[in-house]
Each structure stands twice: as structure tokens, then as C-alpha cells.
Amino acid sequence: MDQDKRTLDFLRLFVRHQPEIYAYILTLVPHVHDADDLRAGVAEMELGQGTSLLLEAPCQVELTSVDEVTLKRGRLAVVASSQTKGFRVRARAALITDLGTEFGVIAHPDGSTEAHVLKGRVSVALDPNRSSRPRSQVVRDGLAAVVSASGGTIRGGLSAQPGLFLLQVSSRGQSSGALGRLNLADLVGRGNGRSTGRLDQGIDLGTGQTLKGPATTIRQARRNEFRPAPQFRGIDGVFVPNGALGPVVISSTGLTFSECPKTMGSYYGGPTNSGRFFDIPSQQTYTARFKGVSFGTSRHPALNVHPNAGITFDLDQILEDHPNIQIDRFTAVCGIPKDLPQSQFSSADVWVLLDGAVRLHVRCPKGQSVVEKMDVQIPTRTRFLTLVTTCSGRADHSWILFGDPFLESAAAVPLEVPQ
């Protein structure tokens, strides 16, 4: 155990019933810069009476009493003793009250709030200052509720997602989960790479703006054009690849994809934080599976990149947002699901580029189900990671998916392809 942790544990014995003092002591931990602003890493705050807060950066909280905390942004988990009830988490438009014993809360940038009950029950109430009528509902074990950004509505009956929350901190201040890696699909869902993004949200290839998926319309790009996406942290931009129209620009700095093949220039929405595809002929939505494993879940995230599409991630910006993480490889399982409503119309290709140079090329022949394990080493000082999918013919049912798409350290656990 390192010295900072020993000091923290020692002092905690004397102030476990005084959260304001303990919050100050947390500033002794290197990753906590302000008493209420966790900018990197993880932290645990014991408030006495058997109640603990578990925070994961970026997260901003304000302790108002031993029984209440205000979550200004980010997410936290509350673990309370079965004998203790009534601890409150106040967000911008909601008040969540513990009825025992474990729950998580996410405060989104747009002002909406999620409450996930992992054990026991909570009461979710609207902020009376934002709602014209008092309203609350009890959310039970295994369920979740969302309070709208306006503070006017509560949507309940949703499934809780335990994988979104940190529930244990080890002696070195790291969670029992995979804090050493970042989820690229979550970035596309406007998250921070730690499962705070919105499922079925992505980037429209035609505009670079937010897309609500799954896509339902095939569109055509008449020229090669790189679309910056400044509202998405860690994402440089998107494009529709077509080598027939001249140089394919893949970054805001003017890098090009010189090996890009000719395509029809058609595209289907854009890269999306989702494992779902909409089949136009049947008007049905399908969930992608590789060898029986469903993707697009908290356990197995998915980046849906239906051809023809390209997305470039800005590794410099990602490292700026996550200075405590070392990134030296990209891993994923990639391919076209086997259980499609129809066979793909044409062969497809998947490309992984680093700073404009092709580092991996996967061929997905027509009529074959290809599931490829990807493990691409990222050299130091690499700035851009680009993922591209192309089809030389019609791209119907070329449902290409990057499952478990992570940026991580080479020291992380090796990726396993679903069996």
C-alpha cells in the first residue's frame, strides 16, 4: 500500500462522521485536485453510519451534510448499510433518496439524471423548483429511472445497468473494473469513455452532428468531405470514404486515406454507440451477436460502423481528458454478424489507420461470417486513430460492428473473442 493511501486510511478513522473534513483529506490523494472535483482516478468517501460514496473521474460533488450530497456532474455510487436509510443525492433536476442499500446516479451534461438501483429501493423525486407539480416514484432493485433535463418528467421501468458504476476501490485507488481502458463506442455516444454516453446515439456522416440511431435511411455523398465533430470529446470528425472522388481526407489536419477503394458513396446514418441495426425491408430492428454474444450492452459495448463510413479519434485530446491512463493499443472484435435477415449484397472491407497509415485491413467476403480479433499497437506520439468501413458495391446488410472497442495499455488483460 502506498504512503498516500496509508495516510488517508489513518486519518479516516478520526473523521468518518465529518464528511467536510474527510473531503478535505481527499485532497491528499494525487488525483483529487479540489475538495469537490475529482478530475482523474477514483475515490471512496466514507460518511459514517455505514454509508460510502464511490466516485470515478470526471466527477464533481458537493457534500452538504452527512446525509446529503449534490452531484453536479459525472457519476457516483452509494453503498449504505441495510440499517441506514434516507441518504440523499441531489442533482440538477432530481432528488434521489436511499431506501436501502446500493444505487448509482449519473448527472449528464444536458441536465438529465439517471438513477440505477442495484440493491434495495430508492425514491426519485422531481425538483419542486423545476416542476409545477410534486411527483416522485419508488424504483426497485434491478430497475432504473431517468429524470428529464427540464425536471418535468420521470421515466421509470428501465433496466438498471450495474456495469456503469464503480462499487469497490482497491488499496491502490483503482477500481475492480477496467479503469485502465477507454470505450470508443461510449465516446461516440458523447460519453467520457467510461459508460456515461447514450446508447443508440452517434454522429451523422452528412453533418457531423448528433445522430439518434439506429439509422433508417440510406443516403448518398456526392463528394469527399471531412466533417469535424467538435461537440464530441476525443473525436476529430467523420467522413464518407469513396476513392472514386479523389483524395479522401480523414482528419482536421488534412491527412488522407490514399488506399481508399472506390465505393458507391452511400451511407447509413453514421458511427453509433449501438449494437442494433434497422432492416429496411422487414422494418425490424435486430441486435448484433457474434457467436451467441449480444453486443451493444454495458458488458459488451459496440460501435456500429455500417459502410461506407469513417471516423477519426483524436488521441491527444483523449489523453488530455484522461491523463492518468496510458494508451498503447486498440482492441476489438470486428466483423459482420452471422444471423442476418438477409445475406450481404457485396463484400466489405474494414480498415484501421494510425496517422493516415493503414495498420490493419480485414476483408469480409460476401456470404461469409467473419469475426476478427483486432489488437493494433499504437506507437508513442500517434495522434489519430481512424476506423473505416467500405463496400465496392451495394452495402445492404453489411452490418459491420466493432465489439468491445477499447483503447488500453498493453499490460491489460488480453482480449478474448466470443466462443
For residue 218, which phi and psi values (nearest 5 degrees)? -85, 130
Return the H-helix or E-strand segment holding 238. Answer: strand 235-239
pLDDT of residue 2: 44
Q: What is the C-alpha to C-alpha distance for residues 196 and 165, in angstroms, rounded to an integer?
A: 10
Amino acid (1-letter code) at residue 114: E
Three-state secondary-structure class, residue 212: strand
Give me the residue label for grid cell 493499443.
329
Give me the residue label for grid cell 459491420.
400
Three-state secondary-structure class, residue 283: coil
Query: How high is the mean pLDDT in each 10-residue block of the chain (419 residues)?
Result: 43 43 44 52 72 82 84 88 82 90 88 90 84 79 89 86 62 42 92 84 94 83 93 95 94 96 91 87 81 80 94 95 84 83 82 96 83 92 96 82 88 43
Q: What is the C-alpha to C-alpha distance for residues 269 and 204, in angstroms, rounded to an integer?
A: 6
The answer to whether 180 and 409 are in contact (CB under 8 A) is yes
Comparing CA positions, the residue from 190, 180, 195, 179 lying closest to residue 212 is 190
The answer to whether 88 and 95 are in contact (CB under 8 A) is yes
What is the value of pTM for the model shown?
A: 0.61
Comparing CA positions, the residue from 47, 51, 57, 4 lying closest to residue 22 is 47
pLDDT of residue 20: 44
Three-state secondary-structure class, residue 11: helix
Q: Give whole-number Cα distances, 76 to 89, 328, 362, in Å.
A: 9, 28, 39
pLDDT of residue 131: 64
Return the ∠ at Cα 33 (arms to 27 and 37), rounded to 5°: 100
pLDDT of residue 13: 40
User: What domains can you pick out in the chain, each with its CATH number?
Assistant: 3-164 (2.60.120.1440), 181-408 (2.60.120.1060)
Establish whether the linkage from the previous residue to 308 is cis, with ω within 30° of 0. yes
